[in-house]
Chain A
Amino acid sequence: NRMHLVCPMNTSPHVDPHKSGHEVWEEFSHSFTPAVREVVEFAKKIPGFRDLSQPDQVSLLKAGTFEVLVVRFASLFDVKDRTITFLGGKKYSVDTLRAMGAGDLLNSMFDFSEKLINLGLSEEEMSLFTAVVLVSADRSGIENVNSVEALQETLIRALRSLITKNHPNESAIFTKLLLKLPDLRSLNNMHSEQLLAFKVH
């Protein structure tokens, strides 16, 4: 009945069976906190983000941090070798993680990472796409929808302009990127369900 935490934001999927649930959670939290702080630092640098109200900044980050991390850490998923590198630096195969209890979310994240990486975006394009992911006016709890929507539209226009400039013969890339947004929502929902299962367990 050994427990495993098959999230790559953990240092390792192995959980010390002698530790309490609280201790396991504390250790996991300690592991992913720097990545979350990086997302906040990234958000602060998005032009216009700091002009949103404080509650809306928090709401956007609460709702979108997981999706931003999926984009930023897509490279942890090695599609060719079917392995995932955890934050501790060690690689684990899909089969190993499946044996530890990983489910459909794992496959869905591999699919997403493969498609995103195959688009061959530059660092600048990826950053702008990540900003679009974070600034979404339809997140729950947004107070000033108009302000968030205006910033979202500005960012989407900038992304389209950059993609069009850099890939003049590949007009479908921008559309493909926008279609990644509902994919990320779906992954976010699946992840929330897994968290619930973990907390209940």
Chain B
Amino acid sequence: FSDPASNLGLEDIIRKALMGNLEERQE
């Protein structure tokens, strides 16, 4: 259980929450 965040689905939530910001940077 080395990656509890992925198992929890946290990574997906984190990526989606960061996404808007990251897209903004790419522009």
Contact = CB atoms under 8 A, between A and B. Distances in A.
Nearest to B21: A44
A154 to B, nearest CB: 20
Contacts of A191: 4
Given A195-B1, A196-B1, A36 B18 contact: no
A9 B18 CA distance: 21
Contacts of A118: none
A117 B10 CA distance: 27
Contacts of B3: 62
Interface string A59-86: 0011101000000000000000000000
Interface residues of B, number: 19
Interface of B: 1-11, 13-15, 17-18, 21-22, 25
Q: Which 10 A-B pairs have the closest CB atoms?
A: A62-B5, A40-B17, A196-B1, A192-B4, A61-B14, A37-B17, A36-B13, A195-B4, A44-B21, A33-B13
Interface of A: 29, 33, 36-37, 40-41, 44, 50, 54, 57-58, 61-63, 65, 140, 191-193, 195-196, 199
Given A65-B14, A192-B4, 16 more contacts: A36-B10, A36-B13, A36-B17, A37-B17, A40-B17, A41-B17, A50-B21, A50-B25, A54-B18, A58-B18, A61-B18, A62-B3, A62-B14, A65-B10, A196-B1, A199-B1
